[in-house]
Each structure stands twice: as structure tokens, then as C-alpha cells.
Amino acid sequence: MRSGELARLAGVTVRTLRHYHQVGVVAEPDRDSNGYRAYDVHDLVRVLRVRRLAALGVPLERMPGVLDDADGDGRGTVDLLDDLDRELADRMDRIARQREVIARLRDHRAAPDVPPELAPFLAVFAAAGLPADVVRLDRDQSVLLAHFAGEEGMARLARFYERLSGPALFPVVAAVSDAFSRLGPQTTDEEISTFAETFAAALGPEIGGLGLGSEEDPTPDLGDAVEMLGRHTDDVLNPQQRRALQRLAEILEAATAP
């Protein structure tokens, strides 16, 4: 048989057959007088065995130990089958967790790249008709916060977002967000200070509470998050918005100073 015929009979491509040669699971046969490789039925059996092992998920590098088992009693494959079973069980667990995340995101019509724990609250922001730049800023910053909070801090972060999106605070959040989006070249220094003071009075306690932990609920280390959030806002906000946040930070720092 030529390589094309063997590949057809085995249900593989010639390229796959060549790959089997390269990794050493199927030996390359000698070439006949016209320079073509000559395969026989034993090569076909070998390729079919490789396909069966591949269908079970056996890595190519572990196949020779099975394929070259001279006795054919399978005594050398017990550990391999156990490993495959564990890998499949782990993969099924991962798939189940992925499906849970997908279901949560789909329930809230959330984008697949947002933290699923925050999806319900970000969905509230997105559905409220807030300015597009504010929604985009909230999404990107939530990605940063969720990453640096990690699993340990995610519960605290989710509670923070839950309070902001709840009926008591969300009207305030929406009003502040709308006012923030309107800051621009025509905004005066007095208006910037007024905005920062209004923001601090309305939401300062919630922001400050994010950094207050306890022995049972320790505060996550958000040092890197603060730095990255600063870089992010420096890049996407206009000068008046950056000054407003700087003034807000000064007010909050003064409020917590001893």
C-alpha cells in the first residue's frame, strides 16, 4: 500500500500519518524501488491501534508502552487507564463548573469576559441607561478588581457591588455616574470640588467599607489593583474627571485620618 491508500483505509489524513512517523508511534517503512514507502496490513493495524488509543485520550508519548507490549496482556496499562480515568473526571468537573458560569452569565445577559460573581450587578448598571463610557469603565475596572481580589476577596467585592446596585444606593450611583460622565473642558474647578464632595458624602462610607475587614473576613490585598486602576483611569478619563477623582481621594483620606 502507498501512504494515501493506508491513510484512506485507516480514516486518517496523510499528514496525520506523517505526524505519527515523526513522533515515533508508527515506524516509517522502507521505500521500494520507485522511492515510495510500501505499507502492509501490519502498518494498518498499528495505525488503527493508535487511533483507538487517541480516542481514549492517551497522549502520543505514552502510546509506545501500550503498542509495544510484547505479551499483549495489558499488565502495563493499568496505571495508564487509572490516569486517564482521573483526567476525565477532572475534565468533567471543569466542564460542569464552566457550564455553571455560562448559565449564570446567560441568566443576566452578561458578556462572557466579565467576572461571573459580579455579573448580576454589572447587568443592573448596563440596563439602567447609564452613559456608555461609564458602563465600559465599570466593566473594565471590575475585571481588574476581581483579578486582584482573588478567590479570598471575591465575596467581599461581590457584597460591595450588591450594595451599590441595590435599591437603596443605585439611584445615587446612577446620578453620580451621570454627573461624572458630564465632566469636561467646560467644567469649573468649583464644579469639580462640588462633584467630589457630593460623591464622598453619598458613597464614601461604602468605598471606605471595602477596605475594612475582620478576622473572619480579612481584607484582600488590593495594592496592585489600586495602582492598575490608577493607570487605567489616567489613560481613559479626561483631565477634569481625573482631577475630580484626585479631589475625591483627598476628601476620603482626610475623613479617615486620625
Task: Note the pLDDT tens digit of each residue in 185-244.
Answer: 999 999 999 999 998 888 877 776 554 444 455 555 667 888 898 899 899 999 999 999
Write the single-letter amino acid at 51: R
The CATH number that applies at residue 30 is 1.10.1660.10
Same structural domain for residues 24 and 124? no
Other C-beta atoms closer than 10 Å to the C-beta of 249 total: 14
Same structural domain for residues 76 and 156? no
Q: Which residues neighbour 3 within 8 Å (Cβ) at sequence distance 6 or greater? A: 14, 17, 18, 36, 37, 39
Same structural domain for residues 131 and 218? yes
The answer to whether the CB of 197 falls within 8 A of the CB of 251 is: yes
Say how many domains are in the chain.
Answer: 3
DSSP annotation of 117 reads: G
Classify burial at 138, counting beta carbons within 10 Å of its beta carbon; exposed 0-12, middle 13-18, buried 19 or more: buried
Same structural domain for residues 21 and 80? no
Same structural domain for residues 196 and 217? yes
Same structural domain for residues 140 and 252? yes
- Confidence (pLDDT) at 212: 42
Instruction: Please give the mean pLDDT across all residues of the chain.
Output: 86
Asked whether the predicted pLDDT for residue 88 surpasses 60, the reply is: yes
Same structural domain for residues 237 and 125? yes
Same structural domain for residues 179 and 75? no
The whole domain housing 42 covers 3-68
- Confidence (pLDDT) at 189: 94
Same structural domain for residues 97 and 217? no
Same structural domain for residues 118 and 153? yes
- Confidence (pLDDT) at 253: 83
Same structural domain for residues 183 and 119? yes
